[in-house]
Structure 1
Amino acid sequence: MEREDYTIGEWGLAINTELLNSLFQAKLAELRDLAVENNLPKTGNVEQLRAKLIATLVLNQFDFTDSGIHKMQNNDLTEVLGLFGVKKSGSKKAKMRRLWLHLNGDPKKLNVSTIGDMTREDLHALCITFDLPRSGNKNVLMGRVAGVLSSEENSWGKVKKSLRTGQKTLGANVGVPTGDPAPVTPVEVIVPPVIVESPPELVEEILDTPTQTTTPVTLDEGAGEALVRLESRKAELTSHLREFLLIGREQDEDDVSAFIEDLGRLGFGIEHEAVRGQILDELQQMIQLKQQEDSARSALPGSWREKQALRQLEDARSNLLDRLDEILENRGGEIAAARVDFENAALDAGLDLELAAISGRVHGLFDLQVSLRASETELDPVTARRHRAMETLYRRSHELSDEAMAQLGKIETQMEAFERVVETIVRRSEGEFGPTEHALLVRFLERRGWDPNQPEVRPRLLAAAGILAAEMGYVDAADIPSLPTSISLDAEKVSDVVDSMREILTEMGRAPPTIESVTSVEVTGQLETDRVKSKLDAADALLRKLNRGDN
C-alpha cells in the first residue's frame, strides 16, 4: 500500500491517510480480518473495532490510556478526534471525555438509561475517568455521570457518515501547514479560550461543516439528576404521553408546550433543556408506537405468537375489566397512575405487551372505560339531580292510584318550578328541612292548585324535595326524608279489609265475630282465670301448713 502522510501536532507525527480512509469505509468482516492479521481482538461492534484499528495502526504514536489522554494538548485532541471521525469541537475536558468514550465505550451499553444498573464502584470509576467529584452516594454519582453522557450523546461511538460512505476523505495534504497559519479560536466552555494554529484546509473544513461550528451542548446544574429521575419515572411519563395523544395535537407547538408545562407541575424537571429534549424524544417514539398499535388492532395476526397472545387477551378480558374498575375506584382522578397500575395488571395476567397488537388493545380498553366514566361524570348536574328526584317520585309507581299518578305527573312537568320552591324554603330556613319546612312546602303547593297531601303523594314529594335540597348543597344527605317501607292504609281501606274477612268467614260456614261475642269471650276467660288462681292459692296454703307441721 502506497503511503500518503501528513503531520499533526507539534510533534510532527506522520499519518497514513490512505490506510485511515480505507478503515473508515471498511465493513465489519474486513475489519475483523485486519484485526486478525495484526493480532488484535476482533470482538465488539463495527465502530468499536474500527476505533481500535485506527488507534493501533494509524495513531500508534499516541498513548490512549487514561493518563495519556489527560496529558494531551487541546489542539492535539481536536485533530485526533477528527482522525477518529467524530465530533471535535468543545472544551478540552469535553474532548478528553469524548475520546475516552469512543475508545472504551459502547453507546448502546453506556448511556443514561443503563447506568442505573451499575454499581457504585463502577460509577465511582467513571467519575475518576471523567474528572468529576467522587463524593456522595450512588444516586449522586449517577447524576454526575448522566450529565456527561447526556452532553456527549451522539458525539461518539459512530464515525461520520460522509467518511464511511467515501463522500469525504482525508487527503495527503490535510494538516500540512502551508504559508502563514491562520489563527483559530476554538469554542471553549470550561477552560479559557486558547489560540491555536491550524492548517488552512482544516479551517475551511470546520467552517463548512455545520456540526463542527455549533456551540457544544452543556448541562446546567442539576440536569443530570433530573434525567435520572426522569428515567425512574418513565412508566408514569409514558402514561402521560398516551393521555396527551388521546386529545392533544402533537403537530401544534403551543399544545405540546402546554403539555410539557403541565408535566413540570407534576414534578418533572422541565426547567432543564436536556429533560425537555428527552420528553420530546419520548413523545415522538410514542407517536410511532401509537401508529403501530392502531394499524395492528385492525389487522389479522401476523405471527403465531401474536395469535396466541390475542387468544390469551380474550380469556383475560373479563378479569381485566373487573380489575380496571377497582383500579379506577382506588386511584380516583389520577389517570396516569391508574394506567400504570393497569399495565402491571395486564403483565400479571401474562399478556405480552411488547406486541403492538396487544398493547394497543390493552390501552384501548383502558381508554374506553375512562371515557365512559368521564361521560357519566360530565352529565349536567341540574339534569342529574332532577332525574334522581323523579326516580324517587315514581318508585313502585305500579301500586299508586290514578289520582296519585296525576299529581306526580304534574310535579314532573313543573319540576323546575318545584325545584325553585324547594330552594327558596330551604334557604330561608338556613339549611333546615324538618317537619316545619315539610308543612310549609305542602301548604304552598296547595295554594298553587296542587293536591300534595294525598297519602300516596306526600311522602314521595317530600323525599324528592329532600334529594333536590341535598344535591344543591343546602342539607345533608341524612336529612332527606325516606319513603315509607310498608304499605300505608287509611281507615276506609281498613274497613274494606274487615268486610272482606267477614265475607270469607261466612262462606266457610262460620259466624263472623261480633262485639258482644268478643266481650263474652273476654268475661268467660276472666272467670276461668280467677278459678285457676283460687286453686293455686289453696295449694299454697296447704303447703305452708305442711311445712309448719314438719317443724
Structure 2
Amino acid sequence: MTVDSEILNSLFQAKLAELRDLAIEHDIPKTGNVEQLRAKLIGKLVLSHIDLSDSGIKSMQNNDLTEVLGIFGIKKSGSKKSKMQRLWLHLNEDPKKLNVSNIGEMTREELHAYCVSLDLPRSGTKNVLMGRVAGVLSSEEKGWGKVKKSLRTGKKEATPNNIAAPTNEPAPAIDDAAEEVVMVVEEPEPIIPSPITLDEGGSESLVKLESRRAELTSHLREFLLIGKEQDEEDISAFIEDLGRLGFGIQHAVVRDRILDELQQMIALKHQEDSARSTLPGSWREKQALRHLEDVRPKLLDDLDIILEKRGGDIAAARVDFEKSALELKLDLELAAISGRVHGLFDLQVSLRASESEMDPVTSRRQRALEMLYRGTRDSSKEAIEQLNKVEVQIEAFERVVETIVRRSEGAFGPTEHALLIRFLERRGWDANQTEVRPRLLAAAGILAAEMGYLDVADIPSLPTTISLDNEKVSEVLESMREVLTEMGRTPPTVESAIEDKEEHSDARVKAKLDAADALLRKLNHSD
C-alpha cells in the first residue's frame, strides 16, 4: 500500500497545536483528544483513497487491515474480526470515555448501536448486549486509541524534507529513505504480552459470568430476601460466596459487573413490590395478571416438581421455575408479573425450609401443644391460664413426663397419671381441673410416644362430650313438633303432658289398691 511517508511521519511527531492548525487548514473538525485528531488527519491526508466508513472497514481484506492498522500506528495482530473492531474503535471512540467500567450507564439502544458497528450479535436484553461490548473492550484494551511511542518520538532527520540532496547522490536515494521510513512504520511489535484486561483473565471471566447470568440473578434475589443491601460488609460476604461458587470475583471488572447487577436487581425488586400492591396500570398488565391466575395451579405443580428435583440448589430451582413460567406464556418483563412469580417461589421455598428446619424435639412439642389446645374455644379462663403455663414451660413438662415414664418402664396408666398430676400440683399448678387434667394427660402421652417410650395406642384420649344450651334444645323440640304435625299427629303440650302424668299416677295408685284388696280377699278365704 503506497502512502506519503513524509506526511505520515510528520503527523506522528506533531503536537496537539500543530494538529489543530492542520485540521483547520484541511477543513477537518478539531474536536477530540490528540490521538483522535491525529487519526482523522491520517485518514484524510494519508489514506484518502481508503474507505474508512463502517461498511468500508467491514469490506477490507485481512492483509489490508494489517497494513492500515500499521499506518495508524496501533496494534495490528489478531484475527480479521478483531482487527476490524480495533480499527473502528481507534477511528471513532476515546478509550477514556468508552471502557468496561462505564458502559453500564448506557441504554440498550446505545449498546445495540455499538454491536452493529463492532459486528456483534444484536439480539438479547441490555445486559446481554453489555456483555458482548464489554468482551470486545476487554480483549482490545490498550490496543487502540494511542499510537506507539517509537513513532511519536522518531528522529527528525530520518524523515525526508524539502532540502535539496547533494548532486552526487542519485535520485533513487530519496526513494530508499522513504522506503526506510515506511519500514519504521511497519516495525514489528516488541515481544511484550499485551494485557487482556486491567487484570489478566478478566475478559474470559466476564464471558463466563454472562453465560451464568440467570444463575447470578437467582443468587441476587436470594441475597435480597435476607441480606442488607446497604451494608457493605454484607455485600462483600455475598460476593465472596459467589467466588466459592466459581464466579471470577478475583477480577475487578467481574466484581464491578456483579455490583451493577445488584443495583439493577434492587431497583427491579422495588418496582415489583410497588406493582404488587397497586392496580394494573395498563391493559397488557391486566391481561397478564388474569393469565397468571389461570395458570397458577399448573405453576405450583411445576414448582413442586422442580423443588423435589433440585433439592437444596435454590439458584438452579429458580432458573428452572423462570423457564417454566416462560413456557406458560407469562410476561416476565412486567414487574407486576415477575414480582408475583418470584414471590410465589420465595413463599414455597420458605415453607419448605420451615418444615425441614423443624427438629424432632420442636416437632413433638408442637404436636403436644396442638393436643393441649384442641377444642378449647369454650373453655374457662382459669383453664386457659393453666394451659398457657404448660406451653411456657413445655421443656420442663417434657422432662417430668420422660422421668415418670422411664421409671415405670414404659407404662403410662392410672398410677402414672396420678403421679404426674400430684407432682404438678406440688409445683403450684391447678392440674386437676376437669378441663385441664385430660388435656395434660393426652399431651404427656404424645410426648412419651414421640420419645419412643409409649405405643400410640396407649396415648390417653380426650373425653368426648356433647354440650347443648337451652336455645339449641328448644330448636330441637320445635323441629320435632313440626315433624309430628306433618305426620298427622298432635304434638304434646306441657299441659297434656302433666295431665297424662297425673292420670298415669292415679292408675298406678288404683292398681296398687286393687292388688291389696285381692290379697286380703285371698287371706280371708283361706281362713
Output the TM-score relative to the length of structure 1.
0.48
Output the TM-score relative to the length of structure 2.
0.49
